[in-house]
């Protein structure tokens, strides 16, 4: 927001306003949004160009139109929307799932990109070394355990992210303070190995 508010106030956020602005001005306005403002300015122009040229300047409308296309089976519609989101720089499967979940477009069992190992460790005792397979396994586990409702899946996403950042870290997990260690296969198997 620190990078967005000055951009919105001084320049505007319409595609033509962003595309016509000099990159140096975009970098200056969004400087407080994080590191590498010049790179972010160029990326913002690229994202804006994609949104304008491929989606008519209204990404949400275009994606909702794809989601409502009743001529296409639901699963295929979802793949099309994910594919459209992946056209943007930095958006992969986890990012597309998160956007769909938090924009209210699809109650997907999204998994924070840095945390697919957390549900795997809790439920299976280990995590898959292949990120893609591990991500899908984590997603299937969440889908099986959490109601297919936006509020439930958004809450699960946020709790999983916080748990992965603070307790169930990839290296040196803090099992001794984990509130769910009694039902965690990783912890239970570790206790057996360590005793």
Would you tell me the crossing angle of helices 59-67 and 37-55 to the nearest 10 degrees?
Answer: 50
Query: Is 124 within the bounds of a domain?
Result: yes
Residue 192 pLDDT: 56
Full-model pTM:
0.82
Residue 30, pLDDT score = 86
What integer pLDDT is reported at residue 193 of this predicted model?
Answer: 55
Q: What is the CATH number of the domain that holds 126?
A: 1.10.1670.10
pLDDT of residue 194: 47
Does residue 103 sit within a domain? no
- Strand, coil or helix: what is 96? helix
Number of domains in the chain: 2
**Whether the Cβ atoms of residue 34 and residue 3 lie closer than 8 Å to each other:** yes
**Is 174 within a domain?**
yes
Low-confidence ranges of the chain (pLDDT < 70): 191-195
Residue span of the structural domain in which 17 resides: 1-56
Distances (CA, A) of 36 to 27, 30, 115, 139: 8, 10, 25, 33
Look at residue 73 in the predicted model and tell me its pLDDT: 87
Identify the pLDDT of residue 7: 86
Contact 105, 151 (CB under 8 A): no
Residue 170 lies inside a defined structural domain of this protein: yes
Q: Return the pLDDT at 191.
A: 61
Please state, in angstroms and rounded to a whole number, the distance separating the CA atoms of residues 58 and 77.
18
Question: 33, 56, 79: which is the final residue of a domain?
Answer: 56
């Amino acid at each position: 927001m620190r990078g967005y508010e000055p951009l919105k106030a001084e320049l505007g956020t319409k595609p033509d306003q962003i595309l016509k602005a000099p990159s140096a001005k975009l970098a200056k306005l969004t400087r407080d949004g994080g590191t590498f403002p010049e790179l972010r300015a160029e990326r913002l122009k690229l994202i804006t160009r994609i949104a304008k040229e491929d989606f008519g300047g209204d990404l949400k409308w275009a994606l909702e139109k794809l989601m409502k296309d009743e001529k296409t089976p639901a699963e295929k519609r979802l793949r099309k929307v994910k594919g459209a989101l992946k056209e943007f720089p930095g958006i992969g499967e986890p990012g597309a799932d998160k956007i769909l979940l938090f924009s209210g477009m699809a109650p997907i069992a999204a998994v924070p990109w840095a945390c697919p190992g957390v549900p795997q460790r809790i439920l299976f005792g280990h995590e898959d070394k292949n990120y893609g397979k591990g991500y899908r396994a984590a997603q299937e586990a969440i889908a099986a355990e959490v109601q297919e409702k936006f509020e439930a899946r958004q809450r699960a996403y946020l709790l999983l992210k916080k748990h992965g950042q603070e307790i169930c870290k990839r290296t040196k997990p803090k099992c001794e303070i984990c509130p769910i260690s009694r039902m965690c296969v990783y912890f239970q198997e570790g206790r057996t190995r360590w005793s």
